[in-house]
Structure 1
Amino acid sequence: MSDLTLHNIVDGRPGEVVARMELTDPATGEVYGTAPRSGTAEVDVAVAAARRALPAWRRSTPARRQEALLQPAGLVAEHADSLLAAEVRSTGKPRAATRIAEIDRSADQLRFFAGAARVLEGVAAGEYEEGFTSYIRREVVTQEALALRSSLQEPGPASRLDDVSVAELKAVPWPYGA
């Protein structure tokens, strides 16, 4: 087993974790680390942090919101190879398809929504990807929301390691609660 230990990131810091789950390479069966097995207590802490951050986020300018999404988009692009390796190792998915459909698309979608952050109208709809209509609703997006997305997924050997990996990149400029 490697020493990889993932954390929930809340208010920009690793949060307390009561239970952990093993990360297993589905191709080899090798246990290579651990990740939080978040329960009600961890979710409550993340939601409380998101609620504390919401007033400041609501007051933030479109430029600040755009920058808050462009920086992690750049980080995803910069760390694409390591994020790809982490996702493939944790899920067993094919490298080429994962790179295109998940890693590269994640950076692209963050950039898309960074542009949408400049549009102050409430709801927009359009075809972002051919054959798929996207609806955009102007809502709070915080690191806690991303962590909550990871925490609420069914824990298992194919958990989204890339979600946690992006959240753990120290340079992500998300607004934190007071």
Structure 2
Amino acid sequence: MNHHQNSDKQLIINIAEQTLTVYQQQKEILKYPVSTAKNGIGSQEDSGCTPLGQHVIAKKIGSDSPISSVFVGRVPTGERYDAALGELHPERDWILSRILWLSGLEEGVNKGSNAQGVCDTYQRYIYIHGTPDTEPMGVPLSHGCVRMRNEDIVELFEQVEEGMSVTIMAG
């Protein structure tokens, strides 16, 4: 993982607005609707919440996968999501197309643990990832991750690098 900032881009995720914005040299260049956690803001393990604060993209996964590819445990299953597959597994939290795995930078906030237990974004498997097109954007519905439209995550994936700064803010 390279930690030197070799890019002048950064991502800002705004929970109140349910948006992800790409900034380059402090200028907004791209903005996408997202869906963050149904359970709101939080960093504790098993809270089902989206963590706040300073993060980096730890790993980019899925670069060669077709759009709507299904991932389980960050590995493509070879399936492509469609309505029929969705009906077969209504309980699944679909991870599609691409994964940007986030890692927290603030000890005791979104990294490591605190008095309440584990609060580590990376260990909690918090990603930015694609979701079925039937899932609404702009509404907090995820289990903690940041969901995006498949076309959007594929486009975003090409704009970002491992080690890039990601700030998640309440509003």
TM-score, normalised via structure 2 length? 0.25
When you count strand as a share of all residues, which structure comes out higher?
A: 2
Looking at CA atoms only, which structure, 1 or 2, has the larger radius of gyration?
1
